Each structure stands twice: as structure tokens, then as C-alpha cells.
Amino acid sequence: MLVQESVRISTILETQKQFFRTNKTKNIEFRIKQLQNLKQAINENQSNIFKALKADLNKSGFDAYFEFIGIIKEIDYALKHIKNWVKPQKVATPWHQFPASTHIYSEPFGVTLIIGPWNYPFNLLMTPLIGAIASGNCAVLKPSEISAQSSIVIAEIISKTFESGFIKVIEGGVEVTQELLTEKFDHIFFTGGTEVGKIVMSAAAKHLTPVTLELGGKSPCIVDETTHLEYTAKRIVWGKFINAGQTCTAPDYLLVHKNIKASLLNKIKKYIKEFYGDVPSDSRNYSRIINQKHFFRLANFLKYGTIILGGDTHLEDLYIAPTLIDQVSWEDKIMQEEIFGPILPVIEYTDIDEAIAIINEKPKPLALYFFSNNKQHQTKVLQSTASGGVCINDTVMHLTIPSLPFGGVGESGMGRYHGKAGFENFSYQRSVLNKSFLWDLKWRYYPTPKGVKKS
């Protein structure tokens, strides 16, 4: 199978390289038309997308809409701004180069490989694709094999919308991703876990292929004693339990000031009930865990600390209740690994410096959340920590804003996308000096002219 697969993959790659060499993708009108085609295809397939999300993750209601509308908004934003993005940027030319002009051109890499995860299977493959098309690349897409129904729908949408020399989906398991990674792409965009990110980067290094790594990790959520409790609880519950906690930027754990811990937890319980009812397993708005492997991984976390809400699990439909856990220790596995599920451990602190020190001992997170009305504390947290992104007084929402570049730092990843950052991510900057034949200054030629310093 692998030999056949590699023949197929190398043929697809060669076809895309030839397509790229025709320069079709560099034409701005072509790019606009392809983005419009993608938007139309996503809109026309809305119900198929929703059905696949329901089948893979029991995702429905706002959770499914959130995934879908993010793609449409991102295409609209690219269509609105692309003509500005592609303009060569005129820069200053030093006098000793006159007469000349100097410009920076944004050029496509060529053929890019986009590897997606299963948690937002459409959004996290299509949003990078928008950047790839806008900047004039061809693309091979590898959806996650774990969100199997979504993978099928993605392959159908893409094969009906684009010629395979331009955009092509290759489905399959880990071995297919590994096979793809042996090929020489011009750029690789990977979204997934930190460990697989390392595999992707070392495979890319063999060809000196540039990579964008959108990874995960433990995103902390600090709540200080000056916060607006009601809104804080509501925004935490939304960001943590959307998609049953399987969101890369979900708050992983709470660091809450000891004076408000009890009242915050009461409010969080209130909003879990308000959003998902007394029995969240009956709620049509509550997603399921993607598969048994992740179900058992998460169920295993429930043995740590003291469960103060939730804790119910149903293997038959991969349900894990929205769960709050108190009294965990940093040595527990639940505090060592990214949770990536509907379990929220709560740790109390007494001083903001203590909370900052805890965060700074750990790998730099993808997101950092801080709820506080204290401006000095806000500045202090911003200045003394590092993370891919920050929301002050909210969770997850920063990634819905196309003018904010999205990505990680350190172990949570490298590179940025969304909006203009997506365009830039799939381009390289080509510096162009264009000299005139009008005259030729002598300062660099031998014999050295008078007045030019000799060493």
C-alpha cells in the first residue's frame, strides 16, 4: 500500500508543481475567483458539514455554526483586503543606488502541505487554505483521519471545486501523513499536538522546508479578586466547554484568587447548568469526545483531586460531563499534560506574583486568560508572561478577530495566520532592486575614486 501511495503522492506533487509553474496562481483575479469558489462550496455544503460534525463530535447548535461561520468570515476578509495585500511595497532607496527603485514583493512559496487536526476539522484545514490561495500557492490538504466523516466531506468539497493540480485532498491515516512528510514541499502548515509537531519539523528539516506549527499545550486562566464574577464565570464556561473542551485555546486550568474561589465556582456551576441543563448528556448543545482513546485518556484524569461538579462518563456515547476538579497537585498527570476535554481543574493563589511564577515555570502557552478589573495587574501579567495570544476578561474570542494574528510561541508553535497574517504566512518576501541605465555612480569600482575611504 505504501509503495502505491508514494507513487500517487509524488505524482500529485509533480502535477501541482507543474500547475504552479504556469503562473496561473499568481494572477490576482484567479486567486479572487478561487476564494469565491471556496466560499460558494462551503455555503452550498453547509448541511453536509453540519452532518459530518454531528457524526464525528456530536457537534451541533452554536458549536457547529461557530466552526462554519469562521471560514466564511475569513474568506470575506481576504476578499476585501487581498488587492492591498498583494501590492508590492515601495521602500526607501539609499542615494548611492540612484537612479533605482526598491520594492518588497510578497511571493507564494509554491506547493504547500496543510495537515489538519480533528477538533475543528473543517475550520482548521480551510482557514490555512484561504491564506494559501490568497498568496498564490497550490496546496495538498491532509485532513485528520480521526474525524472520519469530516474528512470524506472535505475531500468531496475540494475535488468538486478545484482542479487537483491546484488543490488536492489526500485522505488516510498516520502512515499517509508520514509518507507525505518524506516529499519535498515548498512549505508545510501543521496543526496538531506538540509531539507530532516535532516529527513534522524534523521531516521538513531534511528538505529545509519552512514550517508553520500550530500546536497546543496548557492555556492558563487567571482570575483575580477584582473581577466581574458573573461575566467571568459565563465567559469561562463558554470557552472551556464549547466542543466539550476539545479546543486548542480552551482554558486548561483555573488559577483563582483564594478570596473569590468559592463564589466563582458557584457561578461557574450556575452557568454550566444554564448552558447545558441539569443533565448535560441530554443537551443537544453538548459535544462528545472524539473517540475511545481520548475518552479513556480523559476518564483517567478524573481520578485526580476532588470532583466538585460532573465526573459522569458514558462510554457508549463517549460522553464526559462538564467537570470541575479541586485539590489537584502539579505532580498529577492532569496538571502535566494538556487536558483537551471538558475537565477544569481549579488551583487557588494568594498573590498575583505567585500566579505569574506558576505560569512562567511551564512551557509558553498558546493562550493566556486573565480576568481582572485591576489595570496594574493587567499590565503586570502582560509584561511578565509569554504566550501566543491573550484575552483579558474573555476566553477564546481573540482567535475570531481576523486582524489579530493567531499562533503559538515556544512549545505552542511558530508562525501566525488569520487575516493578513495568513496571507503573509504563505508568502516569502522578495526584495527587488531595479536599477536604471541613466548613469552609473563610480564609488564601488576600481580604481577607487578620490574621496572614497580606503581601508
Please report whether residue 248 would count as binding ligand NAD according to CB under 6 A.
yes
User: Under the phi-then-psi rule, with left for phi > 0, alpha for psi from -120 to 50, and beta for the rest, what region is 267?
Assistant: alpha
Bridge partners for 257 per DSSP: 349
Residue 391 annotated to the active site: no
From candidates 115, 141, 158, 355, binder to ligand NAD by CB under 6 A? 115
Active site residue: 67, 74, 225, 248, which one?
A: 248
Query: Can you tell me the distance from the alpha carbon of 422 to that of 307, in angstroms, rounded to the nearest whole number?
Result: 41
Please report whether residue 199 would count as binding ligand NAD according to CB under 6 A.
yes
At 109, list the grid cell.
512559496
Query: Can you tell me the distance from the alpha carbon of 394 to that of 272, in angstroms, rounded to the nearest whole number?
Result: 16
From candidates 340, 349, 371, 423, binder to ligand NAD by CB under 6 A? 340
For ligand NAD, give the closer residue by CB, 260 or 399. 399
Residues numbered 259 to 318 that lie near ligand NAD (CB under 6 A) are none
Query: Can you tell me the distance from the alpha carbon of 144 to that of 120, in angstroms, rounded to the nearest whole number?
Result: 10
Nearest approach in angstroms of CB 299 to ligand NAD is 17
Kindly state the helix (H) or strand (E) to which residue 314 belongs, with its residue range.
strand 313-314
Three-state DSSP class for 111? strand
Nearest approach in angstroms of CB 32 to ligand NAD is 26
Nearest approach in angstroms of CB 218 to ligand NAD is 9
Residue 138 annotated to the active site: no
Q: Give backbone dihedrals phi and psi of 453, rounded to 5 degrees, phi first.
A: -65, 135
Between the alpha carbon of residue 2 and those of residues 93, 139, 359, the distances in Å are 53, 21, 44
Please report whether residue 328 would count as binding ligand NAD according to CB under 6 A.
no
Nearest approach in angstroms of CB 168 to ligand NAD is 15
Q: How many residues bind ligand NAD (CB under 6 A)?
A: 27
Please report whether residue 216 would count as binding ligand NAD according to CB under 6 A.
yes
Query: Can you tell me the distance from the alpha carbon of 234 to that of 23, in angstroms, rounded to the nearest whole number?
Result: 50
For ligand NAD, give the closer residue by CB, 214 or 224. 214
Please report whether residue 415 would count as binding ligand NAD according to CB under 6 A.
no
Between the alpha carbon of residue 280 and those of residues 70, 117, 319, 378, 396, the distances in Å are 26, 26, 9, 34, 22
Query: Can you tell me the distance from the alpha carbon of 66 to that of 218, in angstroms, rounded to the nearest whole number?
Result: 22
Active site residue: 74, 183, 214, 338, which one?
A: 214
Active site residues: 214, 248
Q: Which residues bind ligand NAD (CB under 6 A)?
A: 115-119, 124, 142, 144-146, 174, 177-178, 191-193, 196, 199, 214-216, 248, 338, 340, 366, 408, 413
